[in-house]
Chain A
Amino acid sequence: MTTQPQHHASRGRRTLRGLTLPVLLLIVWETASHLRLVDPRILPPLEQVARTAIAQITDEDLLYHLAASLVRDIAGFTIGTVAGIVLGTLLGLSRLADRLVAPTFNGVRQIAILAWIPLISIWFGFGEAAKVAFIAAAALIPVVLNTTEGMRSASNQLVEVGQALRFTPTQLVTRLYLPSALPSILTGVHLALIYSWVASVGAEYFMTVGPGIGGLIIAGRERFQMDLVMLGILILGLVGFLINRGASAVEAWLLRWRPH
């Protein structure tokens, strides 16, 4: 609140407070599971989840599944991002391209991305290509939107300087528009990284079974193995978190030249 003098609890105290609810939750979970208040198939005790995790890493192919998801993610992300930057640059710099393509693009992107899965899986076959195409589509949209916006935000004075220096159109794009759009493009790429990770899992849920974290979660659900589902979700969240953190760090590093 803004009016009262703000009592900032000390850092240690805040950490303690933050841990209270999660620890309570785990205790309730563990007790409920051991006392059979809840069917242990639905709520397996913590140590069982941990055992599953260790078994999956050492004996089974958890890391292989994770690698499969990540490779797919990176492939789709790369295709979608490159295509997005090209399309976004075109829409941002050419009025005609904008008038021609933007209304259709904006219409099509109203369709929730997951709704594309049936069509893409029929058009691109049931293999790896369909999954990558879907991930690329998910990555494309935020990159196009942010690149377009960034291109338009280039200052007119800079463009005039570029003209006075007789920059060729290519020079204008590479030396002037792209650098000044960079912060915006990076925002789009950051979003694309997050979207494409979720899309990778989505592709594995809804398209044919194959290696991957999403496939692992679905298999766990079908075999009624809650510990496997929980492990999958944990990894899903963890990887998403790491991708987000990594992207923020790279973004900050790439934009370090900007005055603050």
Chain B
Amino acid sequence: MIEAGLAYALSSRRAADIVGAWPAWMTRIKRRLRTASGATVALLLPLSLLVLWTVSAALEWLPPQILPAPTDVEHGLAEMWRSGDLLRHTGISLQRVVYGFGIGAIVGLALGIAMGLSRTVEDYVRPLFTAFAQVPTLGWIPLLMLLVGIGEGLKILVIAKAAFVPMTLNSFAGIRGVPPAYGEVAALFRFNRWQLLHKVVLPGAIAPIFTGVRYGLTHAWMALVAVELLASSEGLGYLLVWGRQMFWLDAVMIAMVMIGIVGFGLDKLMAVIERRLQRWRFADGTDAVRS
């Protein structure tokens, strides 16, 4: 498979040289890459890095404290999998994110909606909120450590703060972005405030609100890594710190990959939910105004 990919890459290079003009070879490559060999090309770089890594470990170019052999990482992974450590740390991290994100998202949604619906609330709260949001989550951690200690409460608070800011901003923008025409139609039908909110305003703002959910979750995951690096005795971030202190880079690498996988998985999960909700919006949202 590698040879095929390599030969392929070489041949397209040659094509570029012969044709000379750019778009011609670009379209040619485009045409070829649409075929199955695209996956081969994508794997070329990681596989050559893996080969380089293996060779460097075999020839001991670098001490294993700086670059452990791929087999070491494999053994480390098998060990951590068998002992259940990897899943335990991942589970703890996930649980913290779920709690923190849940709290931050709900409070942020409430505040965003309140500011979106009422100019008075916006006038009172927005300047303070902006100042609060100006300091990155990373900055709040030491302050919160002094205020609430380094227990579980700290982690939940930090993660909640990280989710709260994008959630507030996006739900606020979402409510303000609902076209005035919707409101006029609703007024024509003499909707009361509650009907207006849950049949017109919220369905109309659902897309930006969901953007807030996705940003919030991404920020929450990053905040989790930060807070676990600084103050934790469990979780994936702790695994990173522990691996560095012990110079067990295989543990560090495994934790990194796990952080990437879970982060990616959370975002994908939200994308799926978002698509579901959008479908509901188109199927139902227009009906809501008509009924």
Chain B residues, Cβ within 8 Å of A220: 142
Q: CB of B221 within 8 A of chain A?
A: yes
**Chain A CB within 10 A, most for which of B23, B139, B240, B252:** B139
Tell me the bound Cα distance from A1 to B281 in angstroms. Answer: 20
Partner pick for B229 among A111, A206, A224, A229, CB 8 A cutoff: A206
Tell me the bound Cα distance from A21 to B122 in angstroms. Answer: 12
Contacts A18-B124, A240-B134; is A96 near B222 (CB within 8 Å)? no
Pair A114/B123 contact, Cβ less than 8 Å: no
Pair B41/A100 contact, Cβ less than 8 Å: yes
Pair B22/A241 contact, Cβ less than 8 Å: no
Q: CB of A64 within 8 A of chain B?
A: no
Stretch at the interface among B76-84, B103-111, B175-183: B175-183
Pair A122/B244 contact, Cβ less than 8 Å: yes
**Chain B CB within 10 A, most for which of A14, A101, A169:** A14
Closest beta carbon of chain A to B196's beta carbon, Å: 7
Interface code A111-140, partner B: CB below 8 Å = 1, 0 otherwise? Answer: 111111111011100000000000000000
Partner pick for B131 among A7, A22, A115, A172, CB 8 A cutoff: A22
Chain B residues, Cβ within 8 Å of A123: 66
Interface code B38-51, partner A: CB below 8 Å = 1, 0 otherwise? Answer: 10011111100100
Chain A residues, Cβ within 8 Å of B23: 159, 163
Q: CB of A247 within 8 A of chain B?
A: no
Q: CB of B88 within 8 A of chain A?
A: no
Tell me the bound Cα distance from A9 to B263 in angstroms. Answer: 43
Residue tally, chain B, CB below 8 Å to A:
78
Q: Report the nearest B residue to A123, measured CB to CB.
A: B66
A80-123 residues at the B interface, CB under 8 angstroms: 94-96, 99-104, 107-108, 110-119, 121-123
Chain A residues, Cβ within 8 Å of B116: 1
Chain A residues, Cβ within 8 Å of B264: 110
Pair B124/A95 contact, Cβ less than 8 Å: no
Q: CB of A3 within 8 A of chain B?
A: yes
Stretch at the interface among A143-151, A181-189, A230-238: A230-238
Q: Report the nearest B residue to A225, measured CB to CB.
A: B146
Pair A237/B134 contact, Cβ less than 8 Å: yes
Chain B residues, Cβ within 8 Å of A8: 119
Chain A residues, Cβ within 8 Å of B236: 115
Closest beta carbon of chain A to B261's beta carbon, Å: 7
Q: CB of A40 within 8 A of chain B?
A: no
**Chain A CB within 10 A, most for which of B134, B180, B253:** B134
Contacts A2-B179, A110-B263; is A118 near B240 (CB within 8 Å)? yes
Chain B residues, Cβ within 8 Å of A104: 42, 45-46, 49
Chain B residues, Cβ within 8 Å of A159: 23
Q: CB of A42 within 8 A of chain B?
A: yes
**Chain A CB within 10 A, most for which of B43, B65, B123, B125:** B123
Stretch at the interface among A50-58, A66-74, A197-205: A197-205
Closest beta carbon of chain B to A237's beta carbon, Å: 4
6 A-B pairs within 8 Å (CB atoms) are namely A99-B33, A100-B9, A100-B42, A118-B240, A122-B244, A229-B146
Please report A residues at the B interface, Cβ cutoff 8 Å. Answer: 1-3, 6-9, 13-14, 17-22, 25, 42, 94-96, 99-104, 107-108, 110-119, 121-123, 159, 163, 169, 172, 198, 201-202, 205-206, 217-218, 220-221, 224, 226, 229-230, 232-233, 236-237, 240-241
Please report B residues at the A interface, Cβ cutoff 8 Å. Answer: 9, 12, 21-23, 26, 29-30, 33, 38, 41-46, 49, 65-66, 116-120, 123-128, 131, 134-136, 138-140, 142-143, 145-147, 175-176, 178-180, 182-184, 186-187, 196, 201, 221-222, 225-226, 229-230, 236-237, 240-241, 243-244, 247, 249, 252-253, 255-257, 259-261, 263-264
